Amino acid sequence: MRRTGAILAPMMLAMGVAACGQDVAAAGKTPVAEAAAPVAALPLKRGYYVAADTPCSQASNATTTLLRRDGIGGSRDFCEFKKIERAGPNTYRVTEACGDLQDNAPPEVGVTTYTLSGDASFTSKNAGGWEHSARYCAQSSMPPDWRENDISDIID
């Protein structure tokens, strides 16, 4: 009985793929590659994002990031977006080159998955398991140091 199951399962899987008309091997593609569509930018408002559990008016260097045209970063680091792919209705796979602004080491390239809740909040998770949730804060709702910065040249 076990032998039959070991033979039937792969055979049924192969028949199922063939019935769907998806010859992945012949096309030279993986299903993931077919599903991901490149996009020019994350569909988020550009500007300040504050950790989800921190009120905008109480933001600090530790809880604030700035979403720019070309990437996202905080007071010590910056991640430049190299490639953005839409992986689902509200999920984006972003290849980023991230570096410490106070270190001369070359940036590390990795992939971070962004899951969006509308155009003003996200949760990001990288391959190492680091996860961060943040939401957009209008510049006028931020503490004085952030309200006075002119960021128009890097977010427009």
pLDDT in tens, 16-27: 333 333 443 444
Please give the Cα distance from 23 to 30 (Å, whole number): 10
Domain ranges of the chain: 2-28, 37-155
Name the pTM for this structure: 0.75
Query: Which residues pair with residue 92 across a beta bridge?
Result: 86, 114
Handedness of CA 91, 92, 93, 94 (dihedral sign): negative
Which residue would you say has higher pLDDT here, 32 or 52?
52
